Structure 1
Amino acid sequence: MDLTNEKSIDTKESEIKFGTDGWRAIISQDFNFNNLIKVSIAIANFIKSNQRKELDIYKIDYTKHKDASYKVKYRDYSYGVAIGYDFRFMSEIYAKKVAEILSAFDIPVYLSEYNCSTPALSLATYKNYSAGIMITASHNPYYYNGVKYKAEYGGSSTPEMTKLIESYLKDIPNEFNNLKPKHNLIKKINFNKTYLNELLNFIDIEKIKDYVIKNNIIIVVDYMYGVLANSFRYLLNLENLIELNNNRNPYFGGKSPEPIPANLKELENVINMIGDNSIGFAFDGDGDRIFAKTKDSWITPHEILPILALHLIKNKNWDGKLIRTLPTSTKLKRIGDYFNIETIEVPVGFKYIADLFVKENILIGGEESGGIGFKNHIPERDSLLNALFILEFLAYENLKPNELINYLHKFTKESYCYRYDWHFENIEQQQNTFNKIKNNLDLFKNILDGEIEIKDYIRIKKDDYNWIILRPSGTEPLIRVYSESITYNQAQNLINSLLNKFNIKN
Structure 2
Amino acid sequence: MTAQIKFGTDGWRGAIAEDYTFDSVRRATQGFADYLKATYAPAEITRGIVIGGDRRFLSEQFAATAAEVLAGNDIPVHFCGGGIPTPTIAYAVKVRHALGAVNITASHNPPTDNGYKVRDPNGGAIDPAGLTQIEDHIPAAVSSCKQTAFKAGVSAGLIMEFDPAPAYVEQLQRLVNLEPIRQAGFKIMVDPMWGNGAGWLTRLLGGAKTEVFEVHSARNPIFPEMLRPEPIPPNVDAGLAAARQIHADVAAITDGDADRCGWGDENGVFVDQLRVYALLAMYLLDVRGERGPIVKTLSTTSMLDKLGQRFGVPVIHTGVGFKYVAPAMIKYDALIGGEESGGYAFRNHVPERDGLLSNLYLLDLMVRTGKTPTQLLDRLFDLVGGPHYYDRIDTRLPDLAFAAAARKRLDSALPATIGGKKIVDKVTMDGYKFVMEDGGWLLVRFSGTEPLIRVYTETMDQSAVQAILQDGLRLAGIAG
Task: Tell me how far apart the structure 2 counterparts of residues 269 and 107 of structure 1 sit (CA, whole Å).
Answer: 48
- Give, in angstroms, the shift of residue 200 of structure 1: 1.2
Given that 2:421 and 2:437 are in contact with CA atoms closer than 8 Å, whether structure 1 keeps it comes out as no
**Residue 451 (structure 2) aligns with:** 477
- Could you give the per-residue CA deviations for residues 120-155 of structure 1, whole angstroms, max 9, x where no partner exists? 000001222111110001111111111100111110
* Partner amino acid, structure 2, of 1:409: F
**Residue 192 (structure 1) aligns with:** 165
* Partner amino acid, structure 2, of 1:208: I
Work out whether 1:269 is the aligned partner of 2:241: yes
Cα distance, 1:190–1:464 mapped onto 2, change above 3 Å: farther
**Residue 490 (structure 1) aligns with:** 464
- Give, in angstroms, the shift of residue 447 of structure 1: 4.4
- Give, in angstroms, the shift of residue 196 of structure 1: 2.4
Work out whether 1:324 is the aligned partner of 2:313: no
**Residue 402 (structure 2) aligns with:** 429
**Residue 131 (structure 2) aligns with:** 162
Detail structure 1 runs of 4+ shifted over 6 Å in the superposition: none
- Could you give the per-residue CA deviations for residues 415-439 of structure 1, whole angstroms, max 9, x where no partner exists? 1111111222344433332323333
Task: Tell me how far apart the structure 2 counterparts of residues 199 and 178 of structure 1 sit (CA, whole Å).
Answer: 38
**Residue 118 (structure 2) aligns with:** 149
Given that 2:240 and 2:268 are in contact with CA atoms closer than 8 Å, whether structure 1 keeps it comes out as no
Matches within 5 A, 1:387-426: 387-413=359-385, 414-426=387-399
**Residue 245 (structure 1) aligns with:** 216
SS of residue in 1 equivalent to 2:341: coil
The match for 2:181 among 198, 205, 208 is: 208
Cα distance, 1:382–1:328 mapped onto 2, change above 3 Å: same
Given that 1:48 and 1:76 are in contact with CA atoms closer than 8 Å, whether structure 2 keeps it comes out as no
SS of residue in 1 equivalent to 2:87: helix
- TM-score, normalised on structure 2? 0.92
Given that 2:441 and 2:457 are in contact with CA atoms closer than 8 Å, whether structure 1 keeps it comes out as yes
Task: Tell me how far apart the structure 2 counterparts of residues 316 and 13 of structure 1 sit (CA, whole Å).
Answer: 52
Work out whether 1:299 is the aligned partner of 2:271: yes
- Give, in angstroms, the shift of residue 443 of structure 1: 9.2
Task: Tell me how far apart the structure 2 counterparts of residues 445 and 291 of structure 1 sit (CA, whole Å).
Answer: 29
* Partner amino acid, structure 2, of 1:256: R
Matches within 5 A, 1:433-444: 433-442=406-415
The match for 1:28 among 9, 12, 17 is: 17
- Give, in angstroms, the shift of residue 210 of structure 1: 2.8
**Residue 138 (structure 1) aligns with:** 107
* Unmatched segments (≥5 aa) in structure 2: none
SS of residue in 1 equivalent to 2:17: coil
The match for 1:468 among 439, 442, 464 is: 442
**Residue 118 (structure 1) aligns with:** 86
- Give, in angstroms, the shift of residue 343 of structure 1: 0.9
The match for 1:383 among 329, 338, 355 is: 355
Q: How many residues align?
A: 467
Given that 1:443 and 1:498 are in contact with CA atoms closer than 8 Å, whether structure 2 keeps it comes out as no
* Unmatched segments (≥5 aa) in structure 1: 1-11, 54-73
- Give, in angstroms, the shift of residue 457 of structure 1: 1.0
SS of residue in 2 equivalent to 1:354: helix
Given that 2:30 and 2:146 are in contact with CA atoms closer than 8 Å, whether structure 1 keeps it comes out as no
Cα distance, 1:503–1:333 mapped onto 2, change above 3 Å: closer
- Could you give the per-residue CA deviations for residues 331-377 of structure 1, whole angstroms, max 9, x where no partner exists? 11111111111111111011212112222221001100011001011
Given that 1:80 and 1:108 are in contact with CA atoms closer than 8 Å, whether structure 2 keeps it comes out as yes
Task: Tell me how far apart the structure 1 counterparts of residues 18 and 82 of structure 2 sit (CA, whole Å).
Answer: 26
Task: Tell me how far apart the structure 2 counterparts of residues 75 and 331 of structure 1 sit (CA, whole Å).
Answer: 46
The match for 2:326 among 344, 348, 354 is: 354
Q: Which moved more, 1:493-502 or 1:39-48?
A: 493-502
- Give, in angstroms, the shift of residue 503 of structure 1: 6.9
Task: Tell me how far apart the structure 2 counterparts of residues 494 and 477 of structure 1 sit (CA, whole Å).
Answer: 23
Given that 2:83 and 2:195 are in contact with CA atoms closer than 8 Å, whether structure 1 keeps it comes out as no
- TM-score, normalised on structure 1? 0.87
Task: Tell me how far apart the structure 2 counterparts of residues 21 and 386 of structure 1 sit (CA, whole Å).
Answer: 19
**Residue 45 (structure 1) aligns with:** 34
- Give, in angstroms, the shift of residue 504 of structure 1: 4.3
Given that 2:54 and 2:85 are in contact with CA atoms closer than 8 Å, whether structure 1 keeps it comes out as yes
Given that 1:75 and 1:130 are in contact with CA atoms closer than 8 Å, whether structure 2 keeps it comes out as no
Cα distance, 1:147–1:418 mapped onto 2, change above 3 Å: same
* Partner amino acid, structure 2, of 1:346: T
